[in-house]
Structure 1
Amino acid sequence: MLKLVIVGGSSFGLTVAEIARRTKAFAVEGYIDDSPEKLPSYSASIYWGTTDSLSVKKIGSKKLFVAVGNNASRRNLIQHIISLGLESSLVTLIDPAAVLLGDVSIGLGSVVFPGAVIGPHANLSKGVVVNAHSFIGAMSDIGAFSNICPGVTVGSCTSIGENAYIGMRASIIQSLKIASNTVIGAGASVVNDIDFSGTYAGIPARQISLN
């Protein structure tokens, strides 16, 4: 069993820890977080230090997972870990209750929550979060560091750019293209391509602000 250190000790980190345990491949060794005063009591009990303490010497043979919900912060931390020469320590986590249909590609540092369904030949880049009970259709592409929230439906052959945030229970019909850095509000229904980054909400989804 591999020893796992989780970067991010909040509620997201605790959830990721349970997914890691459910795989039966990892034992959680501790948490790294830059705001220890805000940590839940459990993660605080095995606190390892701030991100400044990350090093090849400290991590050794242990594995790392970045459990930070904010896309930009998750991207920066993963890139920082890679710059330290620790890329081989990063892992991908897939809950045993997730369903991957056929040949699915999931990038380094991504996590797939229980109840998620990913169709054949879908491609998830690195640092992607696929939350519980979401659906990603066949031959879809999800860009690096994007966050697919619980209950989202992404139609087949859809392309979502990098750093996108798709809110709870939003739906995107098949064969659309969604620009990088786009935010889709909870419950929105996307029925047309989104060519420019911004925040979109409503049924059908319309732009409500620029990012």
Structure 2
Amino acid sequence: MHNVIIFGASSHGSVVLDCLEKEDKFNVIGFVDSFKPKGSLVNGYQVLGSEYDLPYLMSRLNIEGGIVAVGDNWIRKKVVDKILEIIPGFNFVNTIHPKAIIGKDVVIGSGNVIMPGAIVNANSILHDFCILNSNSILEHDCEIGDYASLAPSSCCGGNVFVGSFSSICLGASVVNGIEIGEHSVIGAGALVVSHFGDKLIAYGSPAQFVRSREIGEPYLSTIKKRYFSNLASLEDIV
């Protein structure tokens, strides 16, 4: 069983840990987190240090891979970039909770998290570093770009395309055949019946364009509080 680490010891990290434990494919060694004290415990696992400790940790603990547990799509990308800067070619693993359902001929990239109750139906494609949260549905023949995410109980009908870094928020539904561009956010509870482009926020039923957004603009309240209250600290890790 390969030794792996989790990057990010927040509440999202705890959910990713639960997926890894239930899947029972990897041996979790601990967390890497720049915001928590080294040696502190999270769900019984130790925080081993920051990204800069990786070379030592990998040689000392025989670590063969890991997964980034950061809920915000853009920050997840920045953390991945930092890891690859320190350890080029680092092995990012997937975790798929055993209560998720994966259909026939589904293609899954690397670094993805698929949580309990999630459904990915036949012929769909997940690129890299995506999150499919609890009870989210990705119907047949869908495609989800790098670093995109589906929030809990969101649903994409058949033949939906979601661009890189975009987020379908809590309970939102996207009808069949819709395309959503990159870096866009579909708000909680929205019903999407028309196409949307890049770098925008839309919500409502039916969903309407609300405003444009900047690349990397935070959209999760917990991320805003934790990561953007101290920009200097954020820059230290990304």
CA distance in 2 between counterparts of 1:209 and 1:185 reads 12
* Residue of structure 2 equivalent to 1:145: 147
CA distance in 2 between counterparts of 1:126 and 1:185 reads 23
Total equivalences in the alignment: 209
Conserved? CA contact 1:81–1:87, under 8 Å: no
Which residue type is aligned with residue 58 of structure 1? L
Deviation at 1:174, TM superposition (A): 0.7
**What is the CA deviation profile of residues 133-164 of structure 1, one whole-angstrom value per residue up to 9, with x for unaligned ones?**
01101111001001110001101111110000
Give the counterpart of 1:94 among 72, 93, 96. Answer: 96
CA distance in 1 between counterparts of 2:44 and 2:9 reads 8
**Structure 1 counterpart SS, 2:14:** helix
Query: Given the superposition, is the C-alpha separation of residues 86 and 14 from structure 1 closer, same or farther in structure 2, using an over 3 Å criterion?
Result: farther
Percent of aligned pairs with the same amino acid: 27
* Residue of structure 2 equivalent to 1:4: 4
* Residue of structure 1 equivalent to 2:36: 36
CA distance in 1 between counterparts of 2:23 and 2:190 reads 33
Deviation at 1:49, TM superposition (A): 0.8
Conserved? CA contact 1:182–1:198, under 8 Å: yes
Unmatched tracts of structure 2, length 5 or more: 214-238
Query: Given the superposition, is the C-alpha separation of residues 9 and 97 from structure 1 closer, same or farther in structure 2, using an over 3 Å criterion?
Result: same
CA distance in 2 between counterparts of 1:141 and 1:205 reads 20
CA distance in 2 between counterparts of 1:84 and 1:191 reads 43
TM-score w.r.t. length of structure 2:
0.83
Conserved? CA contact 2:184–2:197, under 8 Å: no
1:190 aligned onto 2:199 = no
**What is the CA deviation profile of residues 34-75 of structure 1, one whole-angstrom value per residue up to 9, with x for unaligned ones?**
1115x98525860111122223x5324422110001111111
Conserved? CA contact 1:159–1:175, under 8 Å: yes
CA distance in 2 between counterparts of 1:43 and 1:161 reads 34
In terms of mean alpha carbon deviation, does 72-81 or 118-127 score higher? 72-81
TM-score w.r.t. length of structure 1:
0.93
Query: Given the superposition, is the C-alpha separation of residues 45 and 24 from structure 1 closer, same or farther in structure 2, using an over 3 Å criterion?
Result: closer
Give matches, 1:129-140, under 5 Å: 129-140=131-142
In terms of mean alpha carbon deviation, does 72-81 or 158-167 score higher? 72-81
Give the counterpart of 1:204 among 188, 203, 206. Answer: 206
**Structure 1 counterpart SS, 2:30:** strand
**Structure 2 counterpart SS, 1:69:** coil
Deviation at 1:86, TM superposition (A): 4.8
